[in-house]
C-alpha cells in the first residue's frame, strides 16, 4: 500500500486518532488489533473473522471480545494515577473500582478481578443482582466492594453476607431513609459494614450526562442531609464506620475544567467532614473519565479534551491542594471509571447484505422523443451541459423543473412515462452537480445535504438496538470502519441501515475531527461480495443496554487472546440467540407453538388439502426452524 493511500485512509477513518494504540491498519489494508500500544503482537481482524466464519462455522453479526484490552485500559488508569501520586507527593493510594452497570458480563468482571490483587481492583454494585454476582467472587482483601443505588432491606442483608465473607463492603448511602435501614440492620445482626455518603454536588459535569450532577440530581444527600447522617451515625455509635465520601457528576465528562471544579467542591466537603471528626479515608470520585470516540480531543459530546494522565493529574492535584489548605490527611482516591475501562475491548462486526434502492441509483438511460413536453427537454439540456462553472445554477434550475414536472402531472397534463423520464433526468443533474461540487475545497452546504440524499444506503446484517443502542438513543458516535480493503481508496458515500423494521435502525452520523459526517466513505460494493464493517469502542454500556427489538437476539460472540508467541487463540465462543430463545423471551412456549401449528395442519388434512405425511414433514420443519439464528444467514 502506498503512503498516499494510507494517509488518505487515515484521514477518512481517523483510526490512529481514536484507537488509543489498540487498532491500526497493516500493509494488507486490514485492521489489526494489538494488546497494547506499540506491542509487536497483533491480530489481523479480517483473518480472524474469516477464520471464525469458515473454521468455526459462525455467522455474522459477530461480537469479538479482547479481554487483554480490558487489562490494558486498567493498566493505563492505574499508571496515570500512580504517576500523578508520585509526581505531587500525594499521600493516599489509588483504588480502582469497576462499576458493574457499565458491562456486567462475567467475562468482563472476571478479567478485572484477576488483577484485583495487583492493583486493588474492587467492584461497585448498583442493584441486588449485581451485588449477588459480586458477593461470590474472589476479590483481594484490601480492595473495596461498593454498594450504590437505591437499596431495600434485602439489598443490605445481601451486603451483610459479603461482610461475613471478609469483604470490605461499603454501603454508599444515597438517601437518609437508607441510612436508617442500615443502622437498624447493623444493630439487629451485630455486623457493621463500612458506610459511605454520597454527596449531591453543586458542580455539574458537561456533555450528555450533565444532569447527573447539580442541584436536581437524582442521587445523593444534600448538605443538611450529610450533617444529619453524621448525627444519626454518632447516635448509633456507628460513626467509626463512616469511611467513604462519594460523588459522581456524570459519565463521559467532555471538559476537564468541570472535573477540577467538582474535585474542589468534593474535597472541601471531605475536609469539613474530617474536621467534624468523621474518620473518612476514601474519597470516591465516581466515573466521568471519558473516551475519545471521534478522536478529535475536543469538548464535543463524543470526545474529551484531556488525556487520562491530565484527568488523573487534575484530580490528584486539586484534592491535595484543598486538603493541605484545610490541614486534613490526603484520602485514598477511589475511581469508578467503567466507560474508560471497557469501551475499547469489543469490536462488533457486521457485513453489507444489500443495497437499498433510492431514486438516485441505477436509473435507466433516457432518450428524448420529439413529442416530449418542454419540461423534459429542458431537464435533458441541463443534464447534457452541466459543468464545473454552472453546476450550482443548473442544480437550482433542475429543482424548479422538478416542481413544474409534478405540477403538470397533478393537473393531468403529462403521462406517467413522462413523469418517470423527468425524475430520472432530475436525479442525473443532481448526481452531476454533486460530482462537480466535490471538486471544490469548500463545497456549499446545500451540496453536503445533496450528498446525503444521493448516498448509497446499505443494508447491514445487525440490529442497532441490540449492538450499538446509544447510536440511536443518545446519538452517540462510534467509529465505523471496513476491516479490509483499506489499501484502496473508498469511492462511495453511504449510510447504513440495519435489519430491524424500525426506520430509526440506521447509522447516518459518523465521526469526524471537526464535525459530524452524514455519510461514510466506503468502497464500491457489488452484490454477493464480502464486505465487513467493524463498529469499534462498543465495550461500554452497549451490550447491557441493547434490546431484543424485533426479536433479534444476541450476535455470536468470540473471545480472543493474543499469546506471547504472537499467535491468537479463540478462547471462548458463545452462540448467539436462536429463534427459540427469542420466543421464550417473549413468553411463547415452543412445544405449545408446535402443537398449535399441528392443530392447523390437522384441519388441512381433514379438508383434504394435504396428506398426513406432508403434515408430519411440515411440523418437523417448523420445529427444526426454531433452532436457527435470528439474523440473516
Nearest to 291 by CA among 439, 68, 550, 477: 477
Strand partners, 456: 494
Which residue bears the cell 388441512? Answer: 604
- Least gap, CB of 34 to ligand PLP (angstroms): 23
Between CA 158 and CA 153 the distance in angstroms is 9
Give whichever of 69 and 102 is closer to ligand PLP, judged by the CB atom. 102
Please compute Rg for the chain using Cα positions: 30
* Cβ proximity to ligand PLP, 342 vs 577, nearer residue: 342
Cα separation of 74 and 108, whole Å? 12
In the complex, least distance from residue 515 CB atom to ligand PLP, rounded to whole angstroms: 25
Distance CA 132, CA 485 (A): 46
Distance in angstroms (rounded) separating the CA atoms of residues 409 and 403: 10
| Contact of 74 with 119, CB cutoff 8 Å | yes
The x, y and z cell numbers of residue 148, run together, are 450504590
Which is nearer to ligand PLP, 104 or 534 (by Cβ)? 104
CA distance 99 to 77: 14
198 pairs with which residues across the strands? Answer: 246
The C-alpha cell at 336 is: 469508578
Q: Which is nearer to ligand PLP, 341 or 562 (CB)?
A: 341
Q: Provide the 10 A C-beta neighbour count for residue 563.
A: 10
* List of residues contacting ligand PLP (CB under 6 A): 99, 101-102, 148, 248, 251, 286-288, 336-339
Is 288 or 553 the residue whose CB approaches ligand PLP more closely? 288
Tell which residue, 38, 40, 103, has the closest CA to residue 67.
Answer: 103
Q: Which residue bears the cell 390437522?
A: 602
Q: How far apart are CA 551 and CA 580, in angstroms?
A: 10
We find the least distance from the C-beta atom of residue 61 to ligand PLP, in angstroms, to be 25
Q: Which is nearer to ligand PLP, 336 or 372 (CB)?
A: 336
Q: What minimum distance in Å lies between the beta carbon of 264 and ligand PLP?
A: 19
Residue nearest to ligand PLP (CB): 287
Nearer to ligand PLP, 266 or 422 (CB): 266
Nearer to ligand PLP, 99 or 482 (CB): 99
- Residue with smaller CB distance to ligand PLP, 248 or 484: 248
**Torsional class of 303: left (φ above 0), alpha (ψ -120 to 50), beta (otherwise):** beta
CB-nearer residue toward ligand PLP: 252 or 580 = 252
Please report how close the Cβ of residue 390 comes to ligand PLP at its closest, in angstroms: 52
Cis ω for the linkage preceding 335 (within 30 of 0)? no
* Least Å from the CB of residue 129 to ligand PLP: 15
Q: What's the chain's length in residues?
A: 633
In degrees and rounded to multiples of 5, residue 258 shows phi and psi of -65, -40
- Closest by CA to 341, choosing from 96, 164, 600, is 96
DSSP 578: B
Query: Residue 435 has which C-alpha cell?
Result: 460530482
Query: What's the min distance (Å) between Cβ of 311 and ligand PLP?
Result: 11
CB 74, min distance to ligand PLP, A: 13
Least separation, in Å, of the C-beta of 99 and ligand PLP? 4
Considering only CA atoms, which of 331, 192, 327, 214 is closest in space to residue 261?
214
Rank residues 248 and 274 by Cβ distance to ligand PLP and give the closer one.
Answer: 248
Helix/strand/coil percentages in the chain, nearest 5: 45, 15, 40
Task: Report, in Å, the least distance between residue 317 CB and ligand PLP.
Answer: 20
Closest to ligand PLP by CB, 476 or 519: 476
Residue 337 beta carbon to ligand PLP: minimum distance, rounded to whole angstroms: 5
Q: Is 62 helix (H, G, I), strand (E, B) or coil?
A: strand
Please state the closest distance from residue 261 (CB atom) to ligand PLP, in A: 16
Q: How far apart are CA 298 and CA 305, in angstroms?
A: 4
Shortest gap between Cβ of 206 and ligand PLP (angstroms)? 12
Beta carbon nearer to ligand PLP, 125 or 156: 125
**Grid cell of 577 as nine digits:** 440467540
Residue pair 522/63 in contact (Cβ under 8 Å)? The answer is no
Amino acid at each position: 500500500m502506498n503512503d498516499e493511500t494510507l494517509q488518505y485512509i487515515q484521514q477518512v477513518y481517523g483510526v490512529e486518532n481514536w484507537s488509543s494504540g489498540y487498532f491500526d491498519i497493516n500493509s494488507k489494508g486490514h485492521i489489526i488489533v494489538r494488546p497494547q500500544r506499540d506491542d509487536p503482537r497483533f491480530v489481523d481482524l479480517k483473518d480472524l473473522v474469516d477464520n471464525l466464519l469458515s473454521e468455526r462455522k459462525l455467522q455474522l453479526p459477530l461480537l469479538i471480545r479482547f479481554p487483554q484490552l480490558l487489562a490494558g485500559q486498567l493498566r493505563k488508569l492505574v499508571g496515570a494515577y500512580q504517576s500523578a501520586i508520585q509526581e505531587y507527593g500525594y499521600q493516599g493510594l489509588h483504588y480502582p473500582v469497576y462499576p458493574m452497570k457499565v458491562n456486567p458480563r462475567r467475562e468482563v468482571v472476571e478479567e478485572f478481578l484477576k488483577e484485583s490483587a495487583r492493583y486493588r481492583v474492587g467492584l461497585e454494585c448498583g442493584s441486588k443482582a449485581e451485588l449477588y454476582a459480586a458477593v461470590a467472587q474472589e476479590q483481594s482483601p484490601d480492595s473495596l466492594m461498593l454498594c450504590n443505588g437505591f437499596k431495600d432491606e434485602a439489598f443490605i442483608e445481601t451486603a451483610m453476607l459479603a461482610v461475613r465473607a471478609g469483604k470490605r463492603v461499603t454501603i454508599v448511602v444515597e438517601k437518609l431513609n437508607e441510612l436508617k435501614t442500615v443502622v437498624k440492620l447493623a444493630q439487629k445482626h451485630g455486623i457493621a459494614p463500612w458506610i459511605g455518603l454520597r454527596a449531591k454536588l453543586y458542580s455539574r459535569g458537561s456533555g450528555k450526562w450533565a444532569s447527573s450532577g447539580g442541584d436536581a440530581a437524582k442521587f445523593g444527600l444534600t448538605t443538611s442531609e450529610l450533617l444529619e447522617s453524621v448525627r444519626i451515625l454518632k447516635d448509633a455509635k456507628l460513626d467509626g464506620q463512616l469511611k467513604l465520601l462519594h460523588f459522581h457528576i456524570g459519565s463521559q465528562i467532555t471538559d476537564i475544567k468541570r472535573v477540577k471544579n467538582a474535585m474542589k467542591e468534593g474535597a472541601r466537603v471531605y475536609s469539613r467532614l474530617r474536621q467534624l471528626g468523621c474518620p473518612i479515608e476514601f474519597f470516591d470520585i465516581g466515573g466521568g473519565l471519558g473516551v475519545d470516540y471521534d478522536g478529535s480531543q475536543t469538548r464535543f459530546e463524543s470526545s474529551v479534551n484531556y488525556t487520562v494522565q491530565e484527568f488523573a493529574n487534575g484530580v490528584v492535584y486539586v484534592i491535595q491542594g484543598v486538603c493541605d489548605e484545610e490541614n486534613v490527611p490526603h484520602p485514598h482516591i477511589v475511581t469508578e471509571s467503567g466507560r474508560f475501562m471497557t469501551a475499547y475491548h469489543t469490536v462488533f462486526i457486521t457485513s453489507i447484505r444489500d443495497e437499498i434502492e433510492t431514486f438516485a441509483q441505477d436509473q435507466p438511460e433516457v432518450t428524448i422523443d420529439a413529442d416530449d413536453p418542454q419540461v423534459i427537454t429542458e431537464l435533458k439540456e441541463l443534464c447534457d451541459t452541466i459543468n464545473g462553472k454552472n453546476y450550482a445554477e443548473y442544480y437550482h434550475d433542475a429543482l424548479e423543473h422538478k416542481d413544474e414536472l409534478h405540477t403538470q402531472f397533478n393537473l393531468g397534463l403529462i403521462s406517467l412515462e413522462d413523469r418517470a423520464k423527468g425524475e430520472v433526468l432530475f436525479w442525473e443533474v443532481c448526481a452531476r452537480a454533486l460530482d462537480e461540487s466535490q471538486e471544490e475545497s469548500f463545497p456549499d452546504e446545500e451540496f453536503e445535504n445533496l450528498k446525503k440524499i444521493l448516498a448509497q444506503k446499505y443494508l447491514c446484517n445487525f440490529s442497532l438496538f441490540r449492538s450499538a443502542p446509544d447510536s440511536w438513543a443518545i446519538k452517540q458516535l462510534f467509529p465505523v470502519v471496513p476491516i479490509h480493503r483499506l489499501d484502496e481508496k473508498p469511492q462511495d458515500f453511504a449510510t447504513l441501515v440495519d435489519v430491524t423494521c424500525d426506520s430509526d435502525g440506521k447509522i447516518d452520523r459518523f465521526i469526524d475531527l471537526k464535525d459530524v459526517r452524514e455519510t461514510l466513505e466506503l468502497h464500491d460494493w457489488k452484490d454477493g461480495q464480502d464486505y465487513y464493517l467493524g463498529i469499534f469502542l462498543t465495550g461500554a454500556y452497549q451490550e447491557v443496554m441493547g434490546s431484543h427489538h424485533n426479536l433479534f437476539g444476541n450476535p455470536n460472540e468470540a473471545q480472543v487472546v493474543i499469546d506471547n508467541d504472537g499467535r491468537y487463540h479463540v478462547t471462548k465462543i458463545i452462540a448467539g440467540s436462536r429463534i427459540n430463545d427469542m420466543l421464550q423471551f417473549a413468553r411463547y412456549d415452543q412445544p405449545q407453538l408446535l402443537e398449535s401449528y399441528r392443530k392447523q395442519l390437522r384441519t388441512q388434512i381433514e379438508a383434504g388439502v394435504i396428506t398426513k405425511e406432508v403434515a408430519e414433514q411440515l411440523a418437523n420443519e417448523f420445529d427444526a426452524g426454531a433452532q436457527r439464528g435470528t439474523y440473516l444467514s
